[in-house]
Copies of this chain bind each other. A is one copy, B any other.
Amino acid sequence: MAKAHRSARGPRPSSIARVPGIDYAELDAMFGYALRRAQIAAFEAFARASDGIGITPPRFTALVILQTNPGISQSVLGDVLGTARSGAMLLTDWLEHRGLAERRHRPDDGRAWGLYLTPKGGRVVETLRRRVRQQDKRFAARLGGRERRELLRLLEKLAA
């Protein structure tokens, strides 16, 4: 059976279906592996919601953070995303080149920029938030309400 070509959109290969006839041994009982599989599925859901303009999870995170925390600096944005300053800078460039965000001089500190969404960025992030939230809900739809709350609680406990 020919394997369907991948969409060339997401950075991940995905395709997490179990291969018939393969013994996965203890992998199925390990949290690291289970988390990876679930995260790939979540990433695919995200890709469906953000399809079209190259928004990746870190870019989406940055847009939300910029909307909720206007005037944040690139360094702090990097801290939030867990990337080096240089990465936060390239990400900011990407947003700025597309007219979604802008750098403004800070009166109090000549070294740092304050980052802000543009009006266009504000509209885009509003649409994105709605679609991503909706897709996230659809993604978790095979869990019941109690299960969803429990899963979020357990994940938070692990990551904290």
Contact = CB atoms under 8 A, between A and B. Distances in A.
A124 interface: no
B82 A31 contact: no
A31 B61 CA distance: 13
A89 interface: no
A76 B33 contact: no
Interface in A117-160: 129, 132-133, 136, 139-140, 142-143, 147-148, 150-152, 154-159
A23 B64 CA distance: 9
Given A65-B22, A129-B26, A139-B32, A41 B76 contact: no
Interface string A49-72: 000000001000100110111001
23 contacts: A13-B82, A19-B76, A22-B69, A23-B68, A23-B69, A24-B68, A27-B64, A29-B152, A31-B136, A31-B148, A31-B151, A32-B43, A33-B61, A35-B38, A35-B155, A36-B39, A36-B42, A38-B158, A38-B159, A140-B158, A142-B157, A142-B158, A151-B158
Given A31-B140, A32-B132, 6 more contacts: A23-B68, A25-B65, A30-B136, A32-B46, A37-B159, A42-B158
Interface of A: 13-16, 19, 22-43, 45-46, 57, 61, 64-65, 67-69, 72, 76, 79-80, 82-84, 87, 129, 132-133, 136, 139-140, 142-143, 147-148, 150-152, 154-159
